[in-house]
Amino acid sequence: MQQRRIVQRVLVALLIGILVAVGVNEGSFFFLKSAAGRAPRTIELVIPAGSAEKVAQGQSNPALPENMVFVVGDTLTVKNEDSADHKLGPLFIPAGTSASLTLSQANNYAYECSFQPGRYLGLDVREPVTWATRLYGIFFAGIPLGSLLALYSFILWPLTPAEKKPVPA
């Protein structure tokens, strides 16, 4: 009987720990939406006409970001609508054409870029956040929390030995 009470208390504490971890994990995922919380896709970056002249004058083009966030598997397609040829890292994009770059590894890249005044474009490639990643986070936090709750419950509310009932004669 005593062993059953111990098992019940531990299971309840583990359940509470996992429920708290679900709340914290999913709450933070909801409020801190990340660009990595999506499936890979194709993202188009358009170099507008007149970009080469603006860069030559040291001006930035508000239509072009200085840093971009991607997930592994994304494809960056750069479309050059400018009259000048441009370069982005390994891509050479002649005027009026487009080129694509598949981002296959998580990393922070700083590519040489001819259409930015600073001459570089930052690409932050992250691992995608999947359901498996989220479940891992829940159990990675919930099981230790539940174990600690079980341990503290035995300290705060110790089990008392069950009274033995007299056996009728």
* Ramachandran sector of residue 87 (left: φ over 0; alpha: ψ -120 to 50; beta: rest): beta
The string of pLDDT tens digits covering residues 47-62 is 999 888 888 888 877 7
The string of pLDDT tens digits covering residues 65-109 is 777 889 999 999 999 999 999 999 999 999 999 999 999 999 999
pTM confidence score: 0.64
CA angle in degrees (0–180, nearest 5) for 126-68-111: 95
Q: How many Å apart are CA 71 and CA 41, to the nearest integer?
A: 9
What is the separation of C-alpha 45 from the centre of its chain, rounded to a whole number of angstroms?
A: 22
Q: With contact defined as beta carbons under 8 Å apart, do 111 and 120 qualify?
A: yes
The string of pLDDT tens digits covering residues 17-31 is 999 999 999 888 888
Q: With contact defined as beta carbons under 8 Å apart, do 20 and 140 qualify?
A: no
